[in-house]
Amino acid sequence: MIDNSDIMVSICCITYNHERYIRDAIEGFLMQKTNFKYEILIHDDASTDDTANIIREYEKRFPDLIKPIYQKENQYSKGASVVIEYVLKKVKGKYIALCEGDDYWTDPYKLQKQVDFLEKNQKFSMCFHNVKVVDENKNILLNHVQFNPKEKKVNYLEDIIPANYIPTCSVVFRNHLINYSDFEVLSNGLYFTDFVIHILNAKEGPIYYFNEDMAVYRVTEKGASKSTDSRRSLEDKLKFYKRLEKYFDDKNIRRIINKATIKYKIDLYIEYVRKNELEKAEELFQDIKNIKRTDIFIKAGLKRSLKFFLIKHFPNQYENIIQNYRKLRGIKE
């Protein structure tokens, strides 16, 4: 029997309809070679396929190690804070490692390397590493991707606010460092939660990057973060940045948030026009026009970037979309 007070790492896995992949994830957890104890928490959100039965199979084989949470009704669809309420609040470890049910770890010393670093470097709140990207059949789509765009070993809050470049399956962070009440406020209703965790960790200390492939990120049609359409993704990001603007008082951080907000507004504007949702596009266009900044090039570049995007990706629809948009805005030919 594992003594809960002696657990160093809690591995947290969120899964839903991952019967084709969940074995890879669990085997990646079990193959870890460590000089410390760890536990495996797997939350199955009422899968309709064979995922739960596969987890039960492993639970019987490793009852002291695997601690599953089985839902009878899908909690994500109800808007529940699954990660916090059903997983993170139950962990016993000093550190937390994340991995979704369709991703998996490939390095048996992954946890040992990351925990050793955090034990020796108390100022760091979290660490992450590089991953490979594969499709559903494990065909490599991107090999040794630099998820860290600036290849910085030490990453600060200012670095990660503009965009989430940290793969969920690569992180290990300190337990009880972030405020879960803040997490719930910032993440409420959003399709993503990992970015919120990274931001809150970065608020408490720098994040270290290992330039090593120690896991695989699998591109599938399952899971909220991998199947969310681009419009929903952008809308949620804008909601998140609005919340961040209220959350942080630091002027420099708010400036970075504001700059990122403008970028995502432009991206969402293009997405609305691309999908012929012209009323929403016009509303957002007026909002962008009223930006009180010196970034005049943003407004000027908006029209050019939109035209370039539409011509490149929708050459046959371009004229029709533009004519509809001109009509909406009352622009004469």
Segment 23-27 mean pLDDT: 98
Residues 217 and 234 grouped into a single domain: no
Pinpoint the alpha helices (H) of 103-229.
110-120, 157-160, 180-187, 194-204, 224-227
Chain position carrying tokens 């293009």: 270
Q: What is the pLDDT of residue 273?
A: 78
Residues 138 and 205 grouped into a single domain: yes
Residue type, 304: R
In a domain, 183, yes or no: yes
In a domain, 77, yes or no: yes
Residues 172 and 274 grouped into a single domain: no
Highest mean predicted confidence (pLDDT) among 4-8, 258-262, 276-280: 258-262
In a domain, 276, yes or no: yes
In a domain, 42, yes or no: yes
Q: What is the pLDDT of residue 328?
A: 53
Residues 274 and 315 grouped into a single domain: yes
Cα distances (angstroms) measured from residue 74 to each of 43, 170, 245, 274 = 11, 26, 31, 33
Rg of the chain over Cα atoms, rounded to whole angstroms, equals 22
CATH number at residue 109: 3.90.550.10
Highest mean predicted confidence (pLDDT) among 114-123, 125-134, 217-226, 308-317: 114-123
What are the backbone angles phi and psi of residue 138, rounded to the nearest 5°?
70, 20
Look at residue 249 and tell me whether its pLDDT is greater than 50: yes
Residues 22 and 71 grouped into a single domain: yes
Residues 293 and 206 grouped into a single domain: no
In a domain, 318, yes or no: yes
Look at residue 88 and tell me whether its pLDDT is greater than 90: no
The CA distance from 180 to 186, in Å, is: 10
Q: What is the pLDDT of residue 115?
A: 98
Residues 144 and 269 grouped into a single domain: no
Q: Per the structure, how many domains does the chain have? A: 2
Q: What is the pLDDT of residue 330?
A: 54
- The residues with which 38 forms a beta bridge, in sequence order, are 9
Q: What is the pLDDT of residue 263?
A: 82
Q: What is the pLDDT of residue 284?
A: 82
Look at residue 325 and tell me whether its pLDDT is greater than 70: no
pLDDT band, very low/low/confident/very high, at 298 (cuts 50, 70, 90): very low
Q: What are 181-226's pLDDT values in tens digits?
A: 999 899 988 888 999 999 999 999 999 999 999 999 998 765 445 5
Q: What is the pLDDT of residue 189?
A: 87
Last residue of a domain, one of 198, 226, 254: 226
Residues 35 and 136 grouped into a single domain: yes
Residues 99 and 182 grouped into a single domain: yes
Share of the chain above pLDDT 90, in %: 55
Question: Domain of 11?
Answer: 6-226
Residues 191 and 269 grouped into a single domain: no
215's enclosing H/E stretch is strand 207-218
Last residue of a domain, one of 192, 226, 260: 226
Look at residue 48 and tell me whether its pLDDT is greater than 60: yes
Residue 321 or 333, more confident: 321
Look at residue 333 and tell me whether its pLDDT is greater than 50: no
Provide the mean pLDDT of the chain. Answer: 85
Q: What is the pLDDT of residue 167?
A: 93
Q: What is the pLDDT of residue 295?
A: 47
In a domain, 58, yes or no: yes
Last residue of a domain, one of 178, 211, 226: 226
In a domain, 307, yes or no: yes
Residues 186 and 61 grouped into a single domain: yes
Look at residue 237 and tell me whether its pLDDT is greater than 60: yes
In a domain, 1, yes or no: no
Segment 72-92 mean pLDDT: 83
Residues 105 and 25 grouped into a single domain: yes
Segment 121-140 mean pLDDT: 90
